[in-house]
Structure 1
Amino acid sequence: MTVQKIISPVDGSVYAERPVATPREVSATFAAARDAQKAWAATPLDVRIAYCLKALDALLAMRAEIATELTWQMGRPIRYTPFELNGVEVRTKHMAKIAAASLAPLDSGLENGDSGAHRWISFEPVGTVFVVAPWNYPYLTTVNSVMPALMAGNVVVLKQSDQTLLVAERFQQAFDAAGLPAGVFQHIVMTHDQTAEVISSRLVDLVAFTGSVAGGEAMERAAVGKFLPINLELGGKDPAYVRPDAKLQFAIENIADGAFFNSGQCCCGIERLYVHEAVYDDFVGGFTEFTKSYVLGDPTDQATTLGPLARARQAAFVREQIDAALRAGATAHLDPKSFAADKPGTPYLAPQVLTGVNHQMSIMTEESFGPVVGIMKVRDDEEALQLMNDSRYGLTASLWTEDLDAATAIGARIETGTVFTNRCDYLDPALTWTGVKDTGRGASLSPLGFHALTRPKSWYMRKAPV
């Protein structure tokens, strides 16, 4: 029997293990989903929403257990893990609020002329939605697709990362507690090869994937020639630009949080910084001092503000990025030895601030997904804009300024899915979450998130002439 093991970054122990589904179990899971879909789609929308809200209540009732599990599975400090469910609650309730309007038919009115035909476009469920979710924010990334997919009349099969397998079980427990009909929501433990086989065999009708660019490429390879829609939210190298009129301390504290929260393991975390020359020295000095206040250590300790990375190999990758930048002439502003818990060969990695960096260095061009940020000095808005756009990624970009007109003008020219001003590393459920370039395609949240999980159907209805 093949099993998947959760290797805890806290101490390297096996926190949990689960058997991988057999071929028969895979077939049965997706057959059950397909069998349940038509009856679920015929269930009134308000009833579908009510099930989702009951499941939310069940999840919230597990907050303490979920917080502890999250810390042990992926290393986020226990002082923060209880609050991931806050975002789950906000997003679910917002999606419930807008579902009816988002899924309402678009009425095109009567046809011009004498036919009297009534025309509209409805949004139909696609069928079975296969959600392949990551480990870094496993509840938040999962809820973005699962809840609107179910509200829209789809059935869902969830595959969680092998780093956070228990998250899928918690969702299953919540939907079971809500009394959701059998087959409407299921979770499954599968290998990458099995996942590819499910897609290439077209056992599903839509894939919602959040993960790496390499993972997205694998999804597309599996779907070649199958005409299967795949929503992809992939890697990022999100920039921030600090203009000379920014409130400096406010920018320092918020950008640091955007760069180092969750040990930098955020899809929309700040990974590269461009600071106007007029405030560059003050910013770098203040940013470095603020970063020194982080407490790297055991994430089960309430005093810890920076936990280990989820996987030792990821920490090794970030260390090599930093070392490569230093070999190429970058300057490190923090001594890892000042963070006692930093230990090479382990997931415990001290935060780092680098200057003297450029776009010939991986640290400024390739996703780090760790607690490091490179800072470059720029002359003006034009240079900052050119550098922000010099990336194969495009999820979010943040601008720090008191001039909202300037921010609007700059933002209009940034190649990104979301523009923030005086905020970063944040999802607003009223806005669509989307990326450009290698960051992916498709959308979640907002009414567009519902549209991404449905298919349009046109209606032309007229009476025959007398």
Structure 2
Amino acid sequence: MDVRGRLFIAGEWTAAADGAEFTTLDPATGSVIGTCAEATEADVDAAVGAARQALADPAWARLPAAERAKLLWRVAELIDRDATLLAELETRDQGQPLGVARTVSVAGAAEHFRYYAGWVTKIEGAVSPVSFPDTTHFTRREPVGVCALITPWNFPLMIAAWKLAPALACGNTVILKPAEQTPLTSLHLARLCDEAGFPPGVVNVLTGGPATGRALVEHPRVDKVSFTGSTEVGQGIVRASANDLKRVTLELGGKAPSIIARDADIDAAVRGNVQGALLNSGQVCAAYARFYVDRRRVEEFTEKLAAAVAALRLGPGMAPETELGPLVSDEHLRRVDAMVKEGVAEGAELVTGGARADGDLESGHFYRPTVFAGVRDEMTVARQEVFGPVLPVLSYEDEDELAARANDTRYGLAAAIWSRDLSTAHRLAADIRAGAVFVNMPPVPDPAAPWGGFGASGWGREMGAQALDVFTETKGVWMHHG
């Protein structure tokens, strides 16, 4: 069954209540690749009702932990089985190179389900030594309830998995709302959850635009919202959730600094920063987005960085030789280009790139990787999140100034340090305010490690054991036995 044009509610595939639909496009060509249902408020209400009913259904609420673990493990097996199909769907819908879709998106999604399958039987309470005589106090970890999981367009499958897997591991029921630009792999993931044997209503998927997301956030019977996306939308979710004090987890924007120390291996730093800045064409919240280079090494670093990015092969994600795919939409490409033009107007030196790709790539949303030199801290390209293939290089004189400059931002998601000196790496890692600091490596998350940011980069942590905290409530039970 082709599920495009359908919503998944209460274990059934159905059209939107009013029959509305929208199209999703291939960013490499601009052509239509699918038609999806546009969920209405009535559909949101139906999905929330189904999730609320499933939450109390003994088929889910009383399912032994070991059986719940088997369901999650089965989803991982099904993702592996359909890996080729899922990778191609992700590439055609999002634009990322097929190799990235296979090794990062699909493999990462399966690994998240396996990791949290292992946690299901280990979600434990504790006994507290209270002072009341003849009284035992213990805690229970219980599901938060109905969870709205709202995902972005940059890594739609993997980010859906890193929300869905811990939410289900903790016994919640969910409504997954993928970004309207990239809904296809989330729909297939719903098929796999159904095939794995989750009871009807435990997993629901609604496709649609911002109005669908707002209806979910504002729904009085949704207990929790987990959102990944822009800081501005995250702020709106916080305001909307205030009426009924929903639990909220937010993974938002970033402007990750990458510090290249005087003693760094420049060739290794260039390779690592190209990977860290240009994975998925720079459409990564943790992408390395401002480069602080020792003044005595900045010219060498900039020249080698510019040469490396200029040599990358742009092309459709399905082409095996492609190293850098398109941006997700023409709207986003125009935004990136406007920020590049602003960088030039503010006096940054354009070393390479700075324009939309032409020729055979003109019909797609391709932007040439761009390196700026001579960037100052106050420039727009050094302060605002570009979310594209734009690499601004700044210089520094003294390592003592680095932490203050790196921390002079509203964001705090990730940071990088390139140094062969252990004391330098430890000192800077301690001083930089970011949720994750990577030393001599690209910013690659892992299911076992907590992920999230400081400041405007969000609230709470995903992945690792910390994800269990945000998808459970702690209940204290007092037993008097005198």
Structure-2-length-normalised TM-score: 0.91
1:326 pairs with 2:365: no
Residue identity opposite 2:307 in structure 1: E
Counterpart for residue 185 of structure 2: 167
Are 2:357 and 2:366, in contact at CA under 8 Å, matched by a contact in 1?
no
Counterpart for residue 434 of structure 1: 452
The one of 205, 214, 218 aligned to 1:196: 214
* Superposed displacement of residue 400, structure 1: 0.9
Could you list the per-position Cα deviations for residues 32-51 of structure 1 after superposition, in whole angstroms to 9, with x for gaps in the alignment?
A: 11111122232111111110
1:384 pairs with 2:402: yes
The one of 116, 122, 145 aligned to 1:127: 145
Runs (4+) off by over 4 Å: 335-346
1:258 and 1:27, CA in 2 relative to 1: closer, same or farther beyond 3 A? same
What is the distance in 1 between the residues matched to 2:249 and 2:130? 34
Counterpart for residue 74 of structure 1: 94
Are 1:99 and 1:447, in contact at CA under 8 Å, matched by a contact in 2?
no
Among the aligned pairs, what percent are the same residue? Answer: 28
What is the distance in 2 between the residues matched to 1:168 and 1:132? 11
Counterpart for residue 51 of structure 1: 71
Could you list the per-position Cα deviations for residues 356-405 of structure 1 after superposition, in whole angstroms to 9, with x for gaps in the alignment?
A: 11122211111101001101011122222111101111101111112233
Greater mean deviation of Cα atoms: 40-49 or 301-310: 40-49
Residue identity opposite 1:79 in structure 2: G
1:348 pairs with 2:366: yes
1:413 pairs with 2:431: yes
Residue identity opposite 2:408 in structure 1: D
Greater mean deviation of Cα atoms: 331-340 or 387-396: 331-340
1:289 pairs with 2:307: yes
What is the distance in 2 between the residues matched to 1:24 and 1:315? 34
Are 1:236 and 1:439, in contact at CA under 8 Å, matched by a contact in 2?
yes
Are 1:128 and 1:155, in contact at CA under 8 Å, matched by a contact in 2?
yes
Counterpart for residue 423 of structure 1: 441
Counterpart for residue 230 of structure 2: 212
Could you list the per-position Cα deviations for residues 111-164 of structure 1 after superposition, in whole angstroms to 9, with x for gaps in the alignment?
A: 347x14322322110111110011111111111110111010101110111111
Q: What is the correspondence of 1:13-32 to structure 2 with a 5 Å cutoff?
A: 13-32=31-50
Counterpart for residue 259 of structure 2: 241
The one of 77, 87, 95 aligned to 2:108: 87
Counterpart for residue 111 of structure 1: 130
* Superposed displacement of residue 23, structure 1: 3.8
Greater mean deviation of Cα atoms: 367-376 or 402-411: 402-411
Greater mean deviation of Cα atoms: 218-227 or 343-352: 343-352
Counterpart for residue 457 of structure 1: 475
Could you list the per-position Cα deviations for residues 271-303 of structure 1 after superposition, in whole angstroms to 9, with x for gaps in the alignment?
A: 111011232222112212211220012222111
Q: How many residues align?
A: 461
Counterpart for residue 62 of structure 1: 82
* Superposed displacement of residue 338, structure 1: 11
Counterpart for residue 287 of structure 2: 269
What is the distance in 1 between the residues matched to 2:98 and 2:106? 13
1:120 and 1:338, CA in 2 relative to 1: closer, same or farther beyond 3 A? closer
What is the distance in 1 between the residues matched to 2:216 and 2:188? 23
What is the distance in 2 between the residues matched to 1:264 and 1:376? 18
* Superposed displacement of residue 25, structure 1: 2.9
What is the distance in 2 between the residues matched to 1:335 and 1:137? 25
SS at match of 1:298: coil
* Superposed displacement of residue 313, structure 1: 1.3
1:415 and 1:170, CA in 2 relative to 1: closer, same or farther beyond 3 A? same
Structure-1-length-normalised TM-score: 0.94
Residue identity opposite 2:233 in structure 1: G
Counterpart for residue 5 of structure 2: none
Residue identity opposite 1:61 in structure 2: R
Greater mean deviation of Cα atoms: 261-270 or 329-338: 329-338
What is the distance in 2 between the residues matched to 1:312 and 1:72? 15
Counterpart for residue 330 of structure 2: 312
Could you list the per-position Cα deviations for residues 8-36 of structure 1 after superposition, in whole angstroms to 9, with x for gaps in the alignment?
A: 21111111111212443322221111111
1:158 and 1:337, CA in 2 relative to 1: closer, same or farther beyond 3 A? closer
What is the distance in 1 between the residues matched to 2:256 and 2:311? 23
What is the distance in 2 between the residues matched to 1:287 and 1:378? 17
Greater mean deviation of Cα atoms: 192-201 or 381-390: 192-201
SS at match of 1:333: strand
What is the distance in 1 between the residues matched to 2:363 and 2:341? 14
Greater mean deviation of Cα atoms: 314-323 or 1-10: 1-10
Residue identity opposite 1:128 in structure 2: V
1:5 pairs with 2:20: no
The one of 379, 387, 399 aligned to 1:361: 379
RMSD: 1.9
Are 1:434 and 1:443, in contact at CA under 8 Å, matched by a contact in 2?
yes
1:337 and 1:185, CA in 2 relative to 1: closer, same or farther beyond 3 A? closer
1:120 and 1:70, CA in 2 relative to 1: closer, same or farther beyond 3 A? same
Q: Which ranges in structure 1 are unaligned for 5 or more consecutive residues? A: none
* Superposed displacement of residue 82, structure 1: 1.7
Residue identity opposite 2:109 in structure 1: V
* Superposed displacement of residue 224, structure 1: 2.6
Could you list the per-position Cα deviations for residues 207-252 of structure 1 after superposition, in whole angstroms to 9, with x for gaps in the alignment?
A: 0000111221221232232111111111111111011122221111
SS at match of 2:311: coil
What is the distance in 2 between the residues matched to 1:338 and 1:186? 39
